[in-house]
Amino acid sequence: MVGAVLTQNTAWTNVEKAIANLKRARALTPEAIVRAQHNKLAAWLRPSGYFNIKARRLKAMCRWLIGQGGTRKLARMNTHDLRAALIAVHGVGPETADDIVLYAFHRPVFVIDAYTRRIFARLGLIKGDEGYETLRHLFESNLKPDVRLFNEYHALIVKHGKDICRKRPLCAACCLAEACPSCSV
């Protein structure tokens, strides 16, 4: 859950550094994060960028988590209500909520991110400017609701988006080049 908040607008390698800082400080629990002074928490989160904003968001999520009775109690909620409750937390939008619901609570919710938009728009399968919920429902209605499938599919999209279908794509190395109308080779 911490990773989902910290990965907003940054690379995962930077999130790993911030999480390592929290572990070293013995502050990777909701209670420790809530108790931490803002400047100290922000310093631990510095590698993830936007550290002051993320410190406030992380504290808000941890306060909410504690107030809800922890993850065991939240795990009893149905997926729709859990997702809605997360989105209501300061700093948690649909993508972050879906990351948490899929990866922390193991529910079949498809995560839509910038890589998904870029790849599928280049393939001509979406326009790219659709709303988050429209795209999420598109994926969820065309795939079997399976946590492992959604997890793997999202991981493959992220890998392809980072390694091949970058902002400046490496079309010559792309396994989808023949089917891609945006291919430049």
Closest CA to 58 of 32, 78, 80: 32
| pLDDT at position 11 | 87
Residue 185: pLDDT band by 50, 70, 90 thresholds?
confident
pTM: 0.92
- Note whether 19 and 88 are same-domain residues: yes
Q: Of 104, 129, 159, which closes a domain? A: 104
Residue 155: pLDDT band by 50, 70, 90 thresholds?
very high
Residue 185 lies in a domain: no
Q: Which residues of 94-103 are buried (b: 16+ CB within 10 A; e: fewer)?
A: bbbbbbbbbb
Average pLDDT over residues 67-75: 96
55/62 Cα distance (integer angstroms): 10
Average pLDDT of the residues of the chain: 96
CB 87 within 8 A of CB 97: yes
Q: Of 50, 72, 104, which closes a domain? A: 104
Residues of the chain above pLDDT 90, percent: 97
| pLDDT at position 141 | 96
Q: How many domains does the chain have?
A: 2
Residue 109 lies in a domain: no
